[in-house]
Amino acid sequence: MIKTLSREAKSIILGGSLALDIVLLDQVTKWLMIGTPPIDIWPPYVSLHYAENTGIAFSMPLEGLLQQTITVGLIALLVVLVIRYATWKKPFMHYAMMLVIGGAIGNAIDRLFRGYVIDFLQVGSFPIFNVADSAVCLGVAGVLVYELFMKHPKEGAL
Please determine, for residue 157, whether its predicted confidence score (pLDDT) is greater than 60. no
The CA–CA distances, whole Å, from 91 to 9, 10, 97 equal 11, 10, 10
Q: For residue 48, is it within any domain? A: yes
Peptide bond into 61 cis (omega under 30): no
CB-based burial label for 116 (10 Å; 0-12, 13-18, 19+): middle
Over residues 29-80, the pLDDT tens digits come to 999 999 999 999 999 999 999 999 887 665 656 566 566 666 766 776 777 6
Q: For residue 1, is it within any domain? A: no
Three-state DSSP at 40 gives strand
The total number of structural domains in the chain stands at: 1
Beta bridge partners of 52: 118
Range of the domain at 20: 7-149
Over residues 141-153, the pLDDT tens digits come to 998 888 888 866 5
Amino acid 19: pLDDT: 92
Q: For residue 50, is it within any domain? A: yes
Over residues 84-125, the pLDDT tens digits come to 666 666 778 888 888 988 998 999 899 888 988 999 999 999
Beta bridge partners of 118: 52
Q: For residue 81, is it within any domain? A: yes
- Is 133 annotated as catalytic? yes
Q: For residue 157, is it within any domain? A: no
pTM reported for the whole predicted model: 0.79
C-alpha span between 15 and 139 (Å, rounded):
12
- Is 110 annotated as catalytic? no
Catalytic residue among 26, 40, 110, 133: 133
- Output the CA torsion sign for 62, 70, 54, 30: negative
